[in-house]
Structure 1
Amino acid sequence: MAENLKIAQPSLVLLHGWGLNSGVWQGVTALLPAAYTLITPDLPGFGASRTFPASYSLEQVVAQLATQIPDNSDVCGWSLGGLLAIALAKHYPHKVARLGLCAASPCFLAAQDWPGMQAKVLQQFAAALSDNIAQTIQRFLAIQAMGSEHARADIQHLRQTIAAYPLPEPAAVQGALRLLAEQDLRSWLSTLSQPVRGCFGRLDSLVPVAVVPKLQALLPNAKFTVV
């Protein structure tokens, strides 16, 4: 009888970043081991997920995501997805066995004691969104690739991977930008019981590498890698 029992594969959940969709993981998923059941949900209002909370509050967005995540999953979030992954680990700890952060921060806006984006950058994005969402997202992709030796090819690849999905809902894009501007989850991150791993880019202009020692101070047992 024991021979007929199947051991369930662990789930790996990948949460994409602001303005994009699950297609952005296309180049990564092919490299992941088959031992995982891979889940790449679109954030509420992005990609194929057209339903989202009207207020786009952190609590409601995370509650909607939690319905798509099996218990005891490894959850890795990029950028905004990382912020949401921290909130998931805090409020739905049974969902998150291990937490991964990819170019993500518990506090994206720069403060006197914390490296991050300048407020004027987020304000510029917010103003541009009302004029042309597609163009603003293209600009965001360009910023993501800054410093890369293959920036043009990187941007083109990202464009192609997300183009298979519709543009995000305008209200969701604005709401998600507010999350990046307003949320500070440092106190939550420091109290998590789950193991935490992080990967950061040396030339990242949106989540500066200077945030790594700050994160290490919050989470002495975590492991962070700079590439």
Structure 2
Amino acid sequence: MQSNLPKLDAHIIGEGQDLILLHGWGVNSAVFHPLQTALSEYRVHYVDLPGFGNSKENSGDISAWAAQLSAQLPKNAIWLGWSLGGLVASQIAINHPESVKALITVASSPCFMAQEAKTDSEQVTWPGIAPKVLAQFSTQLNVNLAKTVERFLAIQAMGSDSAKDDIVTIKKLVLAKPLPSQSVLDQGLSMLRTVDLRDQLHLIEQPWLRIWGKCDSLVPKKIPTILPQVTNTTDVIHNKASHAPFISHPQAFLDELLPWIKKQAT
């Protein structure tokens, strides 16, 4: 561990293959609490991203976050990243491949912001979050921090068949730790708005499981159909799930996740 880097908070449970979980924007590692029992045969690192939960802030860009996480967490681990955490985990797989034995991204896009076609001949725009939606979140952070995070959590549960219960569950878990500062939330939104890893995905050579929710309002269902399909990737789409399938449909999520992890861990 490098002492000159801000300290990460990671709650470690179990023994065996290292499995690192990275949460999404506005929350912290407590959001993965429902998975603890099912993952008990692994050495699971429940990590608070920089500035979230109990981790110290790192004001650098996503590459600085990737460098910090790879320096302070085990090498040759299986990394699971949800939403923004998936973007960070993907950056780690690209920049620090020795850290990543296998990669799992959940409801995560290599480019979260919707993009217009670059040329007249390019017919397909990149689906994602409308720029005005992220701009509204950024503005509202300055007005009411807690309310903005609460609204974002509500959006994450939209579309699932148990949305109301999901929101209650997620809120309870998030409140188990302190809310991030306004500057950290704005930093995370900036990453969602500006980071685009599409041209670097070919650098990810590790086994890669990509889990999607068909009802996701933040990562449109079209994205897995237009991403490169290569031999190291496996796509799983949960037809009734939204942005947090491990909250809304935990058993279906685990039925796909656990056999894949077991295969990579051997």
1:46 aligns with 2:52: yes
Taking a change above 3 Å as real, the CA distance of residues 219 and 172 of structure 1, as seen in their structure-2 partners, is farther
The structure-2 alpha-carbon separation of the partners of 1:10 and 1:81, relative to structure 1 and needing over 3 Å to count, comes to: same
Q: Which residue matches 1:5?
A: none
Whole-Å Cα distance in 2 between the matches of residues 218 and 45 of structure 1?
Answer: 34
Does structure 1 conserve the Cα–Cα contact (< 8 Å) formed by 2:205 and 2:232?
no
Asked whether the 8 Å contact 2:53–2:177 carries over to 1, the reply is yes
Once the two structures are superposed, what CA deviation does each residue of 1:104-160 show, in whole Å capped at 9, x if it has no partner? Answer: 011001113321111111101111111111111100111011112221111000011
More displaced 10-residue stretch of structure 1: 99-108 or 8-17:
8-17
Change (3 A) 1:222 1:189: same
Aligned to 2:114: 110
- Change beyond 3 A, Cα 1:71–1:221: closer
Structure with more relative contact order (C-alpha pairs < 8 Å, separation 6 or more):
1
TM-score (norm 2): 0.78
- Once the two structures are TM-superposed, the CA of residue 166 in structure 1 deviates from its matched residue by 0.3
Aligned counterparts, 1:56-205, within 5 A: 56-111=60-115, 112=117, 113-205=125-217
Query: One-letter code of the match for 2:114?
Result: A
Percent identity reads 41
- Matched residue of 1:94: which SS? helix
| Equivalent residue runs for 1:2-41 within 5 Å | 9-32=16-39, 34-41=40-47
Which blocks of at least 5 consecutive residues in structure 2 are unaligned? 1-14, 118-124, 239-266
CA contact (8 A) 1:115 1:211 kept: yes
In structure 1, what is the equivalent of residue 249 of structure 2?
none
**Which residue in 2 is equivalent to 1:3?**
none
Q: TM-score, normalised by structure 1?
A: 0.91
1:213 aligns with 2:243: no
Task: Verify the 8 A CA contact 2:94 2:204 in the aligned structure 1.
Answer: yes
Cα distance in 2, alignment partners of residues 188 and 59 from structure 1: 13
For 1:160 and 1:198, the matched residues in 2 are separated by: 27
- Whole-angstrom distance in 2 between the partners of 1:63 and 1:191: 17
8 Å Cα contact 1:13/1:38 also seen in 2: yes
- Distance in 2, matches of 1:219 and 1:48, equals 37
On the 8 A contact 1:78/1:101 being kept in 2, the answer is: yes
Counterpart amino acid of 1:53?
N
Gap runs ≥5 in structure 1: 1-7
Secondary structure of 1:89 counterpart = helix
Paired position in structure 2 for 1:223: 234
SS in 2 for 1:135: helix
Q: Give aligned pairs, total.
A: 216
Rounded to whole Å, the distance in 2 between the matches of 1:88 and 1:107 is 15
Q: CA deviation at 1:220?
A: 4.9
Deviation of residue 218 (structure 1)? 5.2
Q: CA RMSD in A?
A: 1.3
Q: Distance in 1 between matches of 2:23 and 2:43?
A: 17
TM-superposed CA distance for 1:30, in Å, is: 2.1
Q: Distance in 2 between matches of 1:9 and 1:119?
A: 42
